[in-house]
Chain A
Amino acid sequence: MLGRTLQEVSAALKQGQITPVELCQKCLSLIKKTKFLNAYITISEEVALKQAEESEKRYKKGHSLGALDGIPVAVKDNFSTSGIETTCASNMLKGYVPPYNATVVQRLLDQGAVLMGKTNLDEFAMGSGSTDGVFGPVKNPWSYSKQYREKRKQKPHGENEDSNWLITGGSSGGSAAAVSAFTCFAALGSDTGGSTRNPAAHCGIVGFKPSYGLVSRHGLIPLVNSMDVPGILTRCVDDAATVLGVLAGHDPKDSTTIQDPGKPFMLSSLTDVSKLCIGIPKEYLVPELSSEVRSFWSKAANLFESEGAKVIEVSLPHTSYSIVCYHVLCTSEVASNMARFDGLEYGHRCDIDVSTEAMYAATRREGFNDVVRGRILTGNFFLLKENYANYFIKAQKVRRLIANDFVNVFNSGVDVLLTPTTLSEAVPYLEFIKEDNRTRSAQDDIFTQAVNMAGLPAVSVPVALSNQGLPVGLQFIGRAFCDQQLLTVAKWFEKQVQFPVIQLQELMDDCSSVFEIEKLASVSLKQ
């Protein structure tokens, strides 16, 4: 039952094959069994069971609220949840319990969704590995999959197998792992430079970033306001569309949401792609791209072409400036957004009270990790009066050029762009941490970041397993506010590729052995 998609389990609930409480309990039990994945920061067991009971009453009366009623979901721990601790994986917000729900959370709850807990991330969503949070790294469920383990057995390797677990990607790695490991049927992530699509690709699930302005950011603790979008992580494209239908639409609390009333997103099944024009941006063919991902990318292009779609090479000439431009804009907004964390109104406050300034300084030093502090410092440098025109203003101009690249391509008749999501499949943690956060973020966001600059919708769809038995995702990018068209194409593609289901049976059946292995692993790590 847990392996089903949201749509399937929703049907099962309607037919009475399982009750919301049973479903919730199963998920809770799996969350506990897979605790070592570190996908959740907070498990809201009591709240979840209560919500499931409410849902069950509705089903019994025949008044279910819709497709999400009774469906276990998880929410990244940078969305405010009323009465449930919201930490952003930071010391700064440990113990902070928001008094209100983010609009997206409220909309899920209004539809009867059952909130299982808050998922792990990089501190304040600053990272691409889900390795830099105060609660420790998230482990990729595929590390423990039959597919990956069998491949590894075939290869000789010296090091301790189980210390070699893989990262999920990030920063919404907790949400990706939670969906991938079957502990919930959909999860909210956030996506500023690829934070939803990147972990979705590494965890073999669908990661959708809606158009900027389609989904409310109210209650999402911001990274970069002008690029942040709540993301949706699900096991299939249809599920993403179902969740989007609930989340999308104007929110009076977020002035950047579009005024048009939201429409339900029901995806038709595309049977004919011959009228489609798929663009392949040539600038995305970078030397760092692994040959395997490159080969899946070209296979995908061939697939569209063979089914009658027009596939053309296009150019996004300013792509190479994206990373440095993003760096300036992101750190500047971070410096500004993080100014509120002064320990006065909420969150961590140090014991030093000789002066307000000393209190601010110590609070912020204790509250933020190196990555956050580094970005604040950098951002403040860019915002200095003497630097503003040279960095921030220029970066804004480059951003406009990057956005215009997309406009030009779409105006030339391209419907959807097809690109890789990541350079390669997920790498082992020990491999990942050889580089610092900034280098990693710059590398890993390469295919995803420009989309945020332009505010476009994009979705990562799992394609196939690599030689190592790990998932590879490809990204589709659509026209602004043509989210439905984008997802329709993604759904067609998903159906063609038939991505294999993760085989975690061993993990689910016998967790004790995993726990033992984990203990050993942690011991060996300490040495």
Chain B
Amino acid sequence: MAAPMLRGCCLGRCWALACIDSGSRHGRGAATGFTCSGKRGQSFVAQQPLLTAQKSRKGEHKWAAVVGLEIHAQIASNSKLFSGSQVHFAAPPNSLVSFFDASLPGTLPVLNRRCVEAAVMTGLALNCHINKKSLFDRKHYFYADLPAGYQITQQRLPIAVNGSLAYSVCVGKKWRQVITKTVRIKQIQLEQDSGKSLHDELRSQTLINLNRAGVGLLEVVLEPDMSCGEEAATAVRELQLILQALGTSQANMAEGQLRVDANISVHHPGEPLGVRTEVKNLNSARFLARAIDYEIQRQINELENGCEILNETRSFDYKLGFMPEPNLPPLLLYDTASLPAGADPQQVINIDRIREQLPELPSETREKLIQQYGILPEHSFALLNEVGLLEFFQNVIKETRAEPKKVTSWVLNIFLGFLKQRNLAVNESPVTPSVLAELLNLLDRKVISSAAAKQVFEELWRSKGKTPSQIVSERKLELMQDEEALERVCHTVMEGHPQVVMDMKRGNPRAINKLIGLVRKVTHNRADPTVIKEILEKQLSS
């Protein structure tokens, strides 16, 4: 649940485990003793469930880690879960606070229909059973950024249960083998976000911002079916893509729209599970895998040193219990079969209608890409991994006759490389899909060589507004179409390098490449190497 972080006033208590945020602990979070590493920053990873402690010697039995996740996704909605306040990330402090959000006495919660629909849609996308009746509860604890002293959540009977999330890990040489894994989803519940506390240690005061207080959250509880940080990170990444595809959450981790708590234990395979610990408020994809792996390693080290694992977070779980929220009647949902006759569509939610509105999910999109364009599975992951990249790719495809594989290679290697180098998002690129499409057309029609195409691409980046054709003609980058002129160049080069010609005649296969290189140099890369090769071979045999 959205438990806020330790506050300054709680001196004497501390999270024994790192609260991995803003990089406070991540520096030493990197595990050293076991490997479960994939290509960082990618959504498909290697997976090695059996871990070995750094100090363990050969022959000692291995450790297995068990990782479960609680993920909080802020619902993308105009207003909060129970009040009419607007939801914005960067509004001035306390500018989005209704009387209810500030817990003024006498105010009552009014459930936001949009949030319920988002929960149902997410539940359906995650293969959950949607409960036609769910209940709201109060969870009590005293925190300055929880004005009512309790959070309204769904503890007893949540809106969705028993789902699953499939995610893919790449294994094998060059990560070419894609394995699909599944993590069970225990439940999805609707609940309120808390406000934010800002601790001014110098003046020993706490500043409260209630803009976030009462924003709708989807708490997605993943069963402990994962075995390392990378698996967890991959599952989270897949969930993030699903939420974004559904539009139910923007799921931007940097803006706190997606926050992850992990519970972790280690044990020897075949033996009972170990004691769990929790790593809270992981709000960056980068630290998620690292923090989990660090904790796994820490537990292994503790156990190997003969120490016990204590569930440290539980020791100051001084919350009071739950109580039914008396101001909200049970949340009733319907399907087409159970819809009461003559019901006001504004007053009821039809699960079947939401099912019909489900958009294409990332796994389906990737499958389509593979089928339609014949691209590699890992390329389908890469295309979905960057916001807007898939759309960019598809727009390029629409306007070019170049092969999809060629387009994929250009988009994923050259285009994405440029963006990453400059730390830009896809929508910030000066090169539009149609410009890239035009460039690829020039390449496809053999107007330019691929080396020249790269040169043009670089030029496009610098001089916005110019078309590829303009650059090609300005820089005289067209391939030489005049075969006679090219024959003359080839002839001159051969005459100037009799030794190389001799080598060639003696059957050295690499000699012709040297000649091709020399011809290209003379033509400033404007000659097509295959054409040069043909001419050279013709001239040699004549």
Asked whether B102 lies within 8 Å of A356 as measured between CB atoms, the reply is no
Q: Is the interface of B mostly helix, strand, loop or mixed?
A: loop
A435 at interface, CB cutoff 8 A: no
- A388 CA / B138 CA spacing, docked (Å): 13
A336 touches B323 (CB 8 A): yes
- CB atoms of A344 and B106 under 8 A apart: no
Tell me, yes or no, whether B254 is within 8 Å of chain A by CB.
no
Docked pose: A344 CA to B207 CA in angstroms? 10
Per a CB cutoff under 8 Å, which of B99, B149, B208, B328 touches A339? B149
Q: Which of A216-251 touch B at CB < 8 Å? A: 217-222, 224-226
Contact B144 A336 (CB under 8 A): no
Are B108 and A218 in contact, CB atoms less than 8 angstroms apart? Answer: yes
- Contact residue among A259, A333, A342 (Cβ-Cβ distance under 8 Å from B149): A342
Are A344 and B144 in contact (CB-based, < 8 A)?
yes
Residues in chain A near residue B107, CB distance under 8 A: 218-219
Q: Is the CB–CB distance between B99 and A225 below 8 Å? A: no
* Known interface pairs A336-B138, A339-B149, A356-B206; A98-B326 also in contact (CB < 8 Å): no
Q: Which of B144, B205, B206, B320 contacts A383 (CB 8 A)?
A: B320
How far, in angstroms, from A224 to B326 measured CA to CA in the complex?
9
Report whether B323 and A256 are in contact in the complex, using a CB–CB cutoff of 8 Å.
Answer: no
- In the complex, A217→B326 CA distance in Å? 12
Q: Which of B9, B11, B108, B204 is the one whose CB lies under 8 Å from A217?
A: B108
A353 to B9, CA, bound (A): 10
Given known contacts A255-B329, A340-B147, A99 and B99 CB-to-CB distance under 8 angstroms? yes
Interface size of B as a range? 35 or more
Closest Cβ of chain A to B402, distance in Å, is 57
With A102-B106, A220-B106 known as contacts, the answer to whether A340 contacts B320 (CB < 8 A) is no
For residue B132, CB closer than 8 A to chain A, the reply is no
Q: At the interface, yes or no: B377 with Cβ under 8 Å from chain A? A: no
Interchain nearest-CB distance for A145 vs B (Å): 35
Cβ of A404 under 8 Å from chain B? no
Measured CA separation A211–B453 after assembly (Å)? 79
For residue A124, which residue of chain B has the nearest CB? B105
- What is the CA–CA distance of A339 and B7 in the complex, to the nearest angstrom? 18
Given A93-B105, A333-B326, A340-B105, A259 and B9 contact (CB-CB distance below 8 Å): no
Is A369 in contact with chain B by the CB < 8 A criterion? no
Q: Is there contact, CB below 8 Å, between B108 and A385?
A: no
In the bound assembly, the distance between CA atoms of A335 and B140 in angstroms comes to 10
Most chain B C-beta atoms within 10 Å of own C-beta, residue among A88, A253, A254, A340: A340
Contact of A225 among B150, B205, B322, B327 (CB under 8 A): B327
Q: Is there contact, CB below 8 Å, between B140 and A336?
A: yes
Chain B residues with CB under 8 Å of A175's CB are: none
Residues of B within 8 A of A383 (CB): 140, 320-323
Q: Is B127 interfacial (CB 8 A cutoff)?
A: no
Contact B104 A99 (CB under 8 A): yes
Q: Contact at A259–B347, with CB atoms within 8 Å?
A: yes
**In contact, A355 and B9 (Cβ under 8 angstroms):** yes
Give, as a whole number of angstroms, the nearest-CB distance from A398 to chain B: 15
Query: Interface residues of A: mostly helix, strand, loop or mixed?
Result: loop
B1-37 to A contact mask, C-beta < 8 Å, 1/0: 0000001111100000000000000000000000000
- Please indicate the chain B residues that have their CB under 8 angstroms from the CB of A93 in the complex: 105
Q: Are B106 and A339 in contact (CB under 8 A)?
A: no
Which chain A residue lies CB-closest to B197? A356
Given A79-B106, A253-B108, the answer on whether A100 and B321 have CB atoms closer than 8 Å is no
B327 / chain A contacts, CB cutoff of 8 Å: 217, 225, 254-256
What does the 1/0 interface line of B100-119 toward A look like (CB < 8 Å)?
Answer: 00111111111100000000
Question: What is the CA–CA distance of A2 and B254 in the complex, to the nearest angstrom?
Answer: 66
| Contact B329 A80, beta carbon cutoff 8 Å | no
* Per-position 1/0 for A69-88, Cβ under 8 A of B: 00000000001100000001
Whether, in the assembled complex, A7 has its beta carbon less than 8 Å from a beta carbon of chain B, the answer is: no
B142 contacts A by Cβ under 8 Å? yes
What per-residue 1/0 map shows which CB atoms of A325-343 lie under 8 Å from chain B?
A: 0000000110110111110
- Identify the interface centre among B8, B108, B111: most chain A CB within 10 Å of its CB: B108
CB of A433 closer than 8 Å to a CB of B? no
Residue-wise interface mask of A (294-306) relative to B, using a CB-CB cutoff of 8 A (1 in contact, 0 not)? 0000000000000
Which chain B residues (296-340) contact chain A, with CB distance < 8 Å?
A: 320-323, 326-329
B150 touches A339 (CB 8 A): yes
Q: Name A88's closest neighbour in chain B (CB-CB).
A: B105
CB distance from A77 to the nearest CB of B (A): 12
Knowing that A99-B104, A339-B150, A340-B149 are A-B contacts, what are 11 other residue pairs whose CB atoms are under 8 Å apart, sorted by A's residue number?
A80-B105, A100-B99, A100-B104, A102-B106, A222-B105, A255-B108, A255-B327, A335-B320, A339-B149, A345-B103, A346-B105
Chain A residues in the interface with B (C-beta under 8 A): 79-80, 88, 93, 98-100, 102, 217-222, 224-226, 252-256, 259, 332-333, 335-336, 338-342, 344-346, 353, 355-357, 360, 380, 383-385, 388, 392
